[in-house]
Amino acid sequence: MTGPKELLVHGIYHLNQSTDFDLRMGMICIDNSVELMIKTYLGLPKRVTQIENLSRNKYNEIIQSFPKLIDALEEYCSEKLTGIDLGDIEWFHRLRNELYHNGNGITVEKTKVLIYAEIAKNLFYNLFEIPILEEDEIPDESLVGEYITNWIKFEKLLNSENGRFIPPFKKIRELYDSGKINDKTYREFAELNKFRNDLVHGQKEPEKKSLKIMNEILTKSVEILTHII
């Protein structure tokens, strides 16, 4: 796991330099780390991963393309995907490809790179059960990073009974229909989900005031979920 970790930490280093070049390099390094960590995990011995029916020939076929890696992760390791939306990873991978193949003059917002870094850190922890420690990276005081980190906690709580990814809004609706949350909490949870989607796939970073307010609501919502689930 040293290779994926080094790539991820190196990508975070570039992220924190904040120049256009560093943000492009950060996105590319982080995406490369995601690809390598999936290949590494799927290639581990069966007695380590407990993966059934993944032959060496099948593995060699899977590692030829990023979409096949994502599909294999979902097929063989669904229990490792709590807090992970594979659609997000595919979306960021396409963005990385645009930068890599048409990178001359193309810029990427720091928000996007930071969000992908948080997703990659979570995937690394899920697969190898080792966190990317604070001393391994340069700190970035960011409300965006704080929101994504707290959202991952929130999403993991939502899916704690399932052991795999289920769309957050579906789980929020289930909590409401079962009477576990009231109208006010339901609206707050739904707004948090919408804000998260806009943040990940939106064209610009929200105002700091909005981020601060939503972070406060999200922190409170994590506490509420802790007592419900």
pLDDT, one tens digit per residue, over 119-138 is: 999 999 999 988 886 555 54
Query: Mean per-residue pLDDT for 159-169?
Result: 74
Assess whether 105 and 31 both reside in one domain. Answer: yes
Please write the tens of the pLDDT for every residue from 187-228. Answer: 999 999 999 888 888 766 678 888 899 999 999 999 988 888
Assess whether 80 and 157 both reside in one domain. Answer: no
Provide the phi-psi class of 167: left if phi over 0, else alpha when psi is between -120 and 50, else beta.
Answer: beta
Residue where a domain terminates, one of 94, 111, 135: 135
Assess whether 11 and 64 both reside in one domain. Answer: yes
3-7 contacts at long range (C-beta below 8 A, 24 or more positions apart): 3/36, 3/40, 4/33, 4/34, 4/36, 4/37, 4/40, 4/124, 5/33, 5/124, 5/132, 5/136, 7/32, 7/33, 7/36
Which domain covers residue 33, as residue numbers? 2-135
Mean pLDDT lowest among 123-127, 138-142, 170-174? 138-142
Assess whether 9 and 83 both reside in one domain. Answer: yes
Assess whether 27 and 128 both reside in one domain. Answer: yes
How confident is the model at residue 162, as a pLDDT? 65
Assess whether 127 and 51 both reside in one domain. Answer: yes
Q: What is the dihedral of CA 86, 78, 58, 3, to 10 degrees?
A: 70
Assess whether 119 and 170 both reside in one domain. Answer: no
Residue where a domain terminates, one of 135, 154, 178: 135
How confident is the model at residue 152, as a pLDDT? 86
Assess whether 128 and 16 both reside in one domain. Answer: yes
* Res 17 pLDDT > 60: yes
Please write the tens of the pLDDT for every residue from 76-85. Answer: 998 888 888 8
How confident is the model at residue 78, as a pLDDT? 87
- To 5 degrees, how large is the angle CA 83–CA 182–CA 155? 5
Assess whether 37 and 113 both reside in one domain. Answer: yes
How confident is the model at residue 105, as a pLDDT? 61
Q: How many domains does the chain have?
A: 2
Please write the tens of the pLDDT for every residue from 33-79. Answer: 999 999 999 999 988 888 988 999 999 999 999 999 999 999 999 88
Assess whether 20 and 127 both reside in one domain. Answer: yes
Question: How far apart are the C-alpha atoms of 28 and 100, rounded to whole Å?
Answer: 7
Query: Cα 11 vs. chain centroid, distance in angstroms?
Result: 15
Assess whether 11 and 48 both reside in one domain. Answer: yes
Assess whether 75 and 98 both reside in one domain. Answer: yes
pTM of the model: 0.81
* Res 167 pLDDT > 90: no
Residue where a domain terminates, one of 135, 162, 195: 135
